[in-house]
Structure 1
Amino acid sequence: MTTTGTDIRTEHAAWRAEREEQLRAPHGWLSLTALHWLDDGPGDIGSLPGTWRVADADTVEITAAAADGVVLPGTAGPLDGSAQVRPVDGAPGAMVTVGERIVEIARRTDGYALRVRDPQAVTRTAFDGVPTWDFDPGAVLTGRFTAYDEPRRITVDAVVEGLQHFPTAVGEVEFELRGGTRRLVALAGKDGGLSLHFRDATSGRETYGGGRILKTADPDADGTVQVDLNRTVNLPCAFTAYATCPLPPAGNALDVAVEAGERTPPRPDLV
């Protein structure tokens, strides 16, 4: 069955609406208001009640009174005393509720951080959509995926100096763009499919300097994969100073401009 241009545009519009609805989530990336790095000191953290400290190499300890309203995940009521959590490096952190805020306890490399998510953050309340290039049917490309013999755990730097991420590279995707063959290292998608994290000639100009990401469906059995550059999106660090995003894998820098997908978003917190 042939997909018409109208069908493609309608599908893209629905995808964009869903993308922006996710960004507007009360405790999504736009709600971040702080990033606190923990140590084994007294544990007083800004406006947060109680104390939050590193107890040992694998554990963060929280101490609070019931009146503080600190609720740990999986518990029915507020903490009254001390409790410990053990976040995993690179994984989503433990989400602790403090009133209408959520405090994510995350482990990154050898450190622990608290990310405060507040629905009243100006980056969320002032959000009015992400600037994008107009949908371009010509930016919907057919690529070819070549899998590695075995997945490879690679090391990439982060937007926060001194941090590293360790994604899994599963192969490479080739596609034709602007008269040449382009090749990108493909990472394993968190929910299946592939993740192409790259910089291009727009990075640091029309788009965020740390690169953008394009997620694809699983390749067909013969390696064919759709590369829809219209769905290239910003990482959280383009919207907030309180994310710890990875940088692209070595070599994932295109020398041509990918004028499709999301542009640099406005930053009301910097105004």
Structure 2
Amino acid sequence: MSTHSTELDRLTQRWERFRQGRNAALAAPHGWLTLTSFQWLPPVPSPLQHLPGLWSFEGTTAFLTASAEDHLTLMESGEAVVGTISVQLSDEESVLWVKSGSVVVELGMRANRYMIRTRDPQSPTLTEFTAVPVFDYDPALVVTGKFEPYSAPRTAAIKTAHPEVPGMVVLVGDVVFDLAGNAYRLAAEQGPLGSLIVTFADATDTTGSHWRKLELTKPRPDNSVVVDFNRTINYPSAFTDYGTCPAPSEGNTLPVSVEGGECNLR
């Protein structure tokens, strides 16, 4: 076996381990594949679809009023909700608040409005899930680029997967790279542990979403960075109608098809 074949096998196996971890994370019992509804909280205590209790908000506080017969329990402690409870969140925060049977109720703040999403482990999207379809591993989609940091972070308005939820993104620099003989640049956010997050669209029509996400490892001291499009993943909005995922910032659309990473689940 040639050295090239051995190295390709090693990289492919490493990528397959990445895919196994990704599929396992998606299959979590109250993960993204379990979303079954999205509802805004009303200003007056009112019932919500498919949920017991009365739900509302006032100012920056969300309220839930329930009786013992509603069989709602706090997610954190398992204690029954009897009477009125409240939570305050900041914009973009979420909390798994209460349970109704096996269904978990997520409370979140989006565009400074309180929303409720239900997460049902019996959702067909989860129960019928085995793995996200992906393109075959392609070593040509692994390139070395350059990170060009901005002098200061830039905040930009963006759209999201939900038409009623505008978004904002903080961009820290551009990732410049060559792909198939052409030069491109994509704006990046700061990720965890010094990584970079790139949200981009391209000409691929089999990804189940108009855009995808790629996390790059922390740039090296010379600001070089590995751009591996085989690790491109779909945002949750590719799997569910109830996501509020960020769209790419202006300029983050590639004019070519990048057939790497995840394809369409639905």
Instruction: Give the TM-score, by structure 2 length.
Output: 0.93
User: Distance between the aligned counterparts of 1:33 and 1:241, measured in 2?
Assistant: 8
Which residue number corresponds to residue 269 of structure 1? none
User: Distance between the aligned counterparts of 1:174 and 1:61, measured in 2?
Assistant: 47
Q: 1:21 to 1:128 in 2, by over 3 A?
A: same
Among 185, 188, 192, the residue aligned to 2:187: 185
User: Distance between the aligned counterparts of 1:210 and 1:257, measured in 2?
Assistant: 12
Task: Give yes or no for contact 1:159–1:210 (8 Å, CA) kept in 2.
Answer: no
Which residue identity does 2:109 align to in structure 1?
R
Instruction: State the SS of the aligned residue for 2:208.
Output: coil
User: Distance between the aligned counterparts of 2:55 and 2:108, measured in 1?
Assistant: 12
User: Distance between the aligned counterparts of 1:67 and 1:167, measured in 2?
Assistant: 43
CA offset at residue 94 of structure 1?
4.2
User: Distance between the aligned counterparts of 2:53 and 2:215, measured in 1?
Assistant: 40
Among 39, 42, 47, the residue aligned to 2:45: 42
User: Distance between the aligned counterparts of 1:130 and 1:94, measured in 2?
Assistant: 25
Which residue number corresponds to residue 254 of structure 1? 254
User: Distance between the aligned counterparts of 1:72 and 1:87, measured in 2?
Assistant: 16
Which residue number corresponds to residue 129 of structure 1? 131
CA deviation profile, 1:96-135 (whole Å, cap 9, x unmatched): 2222111111111032111100000010001121111100
Which residue number corresponds to residue 36 of structure 2? 33
User: Distance between the aligned counterparts of 1:37 and 1:121, measured in 2?
Assistant: 21
Task: Give yes or no for contact 1:90–1:166 (8 Å, CA) kept in 2.
Answer: no
Structure 1 stretch 224-233 or stretch 35-44: which is displaced more?
35-44
Which residue number corresponds to residue 229 of structure 1? 229
Among 144, 154, 166, the residue aligned to 2:156: 154
Which residue number corresponds to residue 5 of structure 1? 8
Unaligned runs of 5+ in 1: 267-271
CA offset at residue 153 of structure 1?
2.5
Unaligned runs of 5+ in 2: none
Q: Name the count of aligned residue pairs.
A: 262
Among 7, 21, 24, the residue aligned to 1:21: 24
Task: Give yes or no for contact 1:90–1:165 (8 Å, CA) kept in 2.
Answer: no
Q: Aligned Cα RMSD in Å?
A: 1.7
Task: Give yes or no for contact 2:33–2:123 (8 Å, CA) kept in 1.
Answer: yes
| Bigger fraction of residues in strand | 2
Structure 1 stretch 96-105 or stretch 189-198: which is displaced more?
189-198
CA offset at residue 247 of structure 1?
0.8
Find out whether 1:78 has 2:80 as its counterpart.
yes
In percent, how many aligned pairs have the same letter? 38
Find out whether 1:220 has 2:214 as its counterpart.
no
Task: Give yes or no for contact 1:72–1:97 (8 Å, CA) kept in 2.
Answer: yes
User: Distance between the aligned counterparts of 2:158 and 2:22, measured in 1?
Assistant: 26
CA offset at residue 179 of structure 1?
1.5
User: Distance between the aligned counterparts of 1:58 and 1:251, measured in 2?
Assistant: 35
Task: Give yes or no for contact 2:162–2:242 (8 Å, CA) kept in 1.
Answer: no
